[in-house]
Amino acid sequence: MNFFLKLFKLLSPELAHSFSLNSLKLLHKLNILRLFFKKNYKDENVIFLGMHFKNRLGTAAGLDKNGDYIDALGDLGFGFLEVGTVTPLAQSGNPKPRVFRNYRENSIINRLGFNNKGVDYLVSNLKKKTYKGVLGVNIGANKDSIGNQRINDYLVCLEKVNKYADYITINISSPNTPNLRDLHDSENLSILINAIDKSIKDLDISKPVFLKISPDESDETISNIITHVENSSFSGIIATNTTIDKSMLVNEEIKLIDGGISGEPLMNKSTEKLSYIRSKSKDIKLIGVGGVLSKEDYDKKINAGASLVQVYTGFIIQGPKLINNILNN
């Protein structure tokens, strides 16, 4: 396995990502994936918001944007998967290069920009999956959508994915879609949540809906978000997406690159947001994500108030062994 991880590092980041996931998919189809990645832990059988999880560890959105690898990733032992972010229309995302490795600090900077094949393509994959575990779908807005159309993009995706998802995440926190984070502002968020509340009622959706937030917001903004969520149909918050704050980085060259930072430098900042949210609300449901590269990181998210924890960059850097490292302790 270490040989393959070293090999993938020789490829460009996006090519390595595609090649590694397609390799997992092939091993799964040949029914030999578990020969390479053996499960060394017991199932926990967690119940959260009426959903049954075999453990608390899942994938974050961005790992499998289009739902092409659901069955293969599910076979690795994750307790749940989250696919997306998906938008109503297919879009290519921002110009390449747009993913940059920073191995010295166990991090990645990306400015992908919601590149995906569109919600209809994702739904077609959701219909074909054989994975029986919990599956969330992360939805967003197309880059060119503005004003009411941006709000409508979320409603279009919500209507199309709700029948095939166990939970849905409303992503307002990517730093790579212009002005998307403006939806954190109280007035803009109120408009979005009211529209989604109406759609949830009209479509009779009973599944959990989460709001995924940025780690770069002020405590005042976070407090307003908590109030909005607690007075809506939303079930909770996913904290957090990537950060544009590069002050914690040592690598000066990486600091000059635009995009969101994930991995180790994000860990403390994202966990502090979790802790702050929990300090303001004892009951709000939380999923923690951002910088999880070890069992210790995982435990910190749980101790900060998260009921579930997601990984992304840690999985890219370490591969499937991260699952056992976290769950087998």
57 to 45, 80, 94, 191, 297: CA distances (angstroms): 12, 7, 30, 32, 12
Cis ω before 85 (30° cut-off from 0): yes
Is 174 annotated as catalytic?
A: yes
Could you give the count of Cα atoms lying within 13 Å of 161 in the half-sphere of its Cβ? 37
CB-CB contact of 260 with 175 (8 Å): yes
Choosing from 145, 174, 262, 281, the catalytic residue is 174
Confirm if 237 and 211 have CB atoms less than 8 A apart.
Answer: yes
Evaluated on CA atoms 256, 106, 212, 302, the torsion sign reads: negative
How far apart (Å, rounded) are the C-alpha atoms in residues 175 and 261?
10
**Residue 177, preceding peptide bond in cis (omega within 30° of 0):** no
Which residues does the annotation mark as catalytic?
A: 174
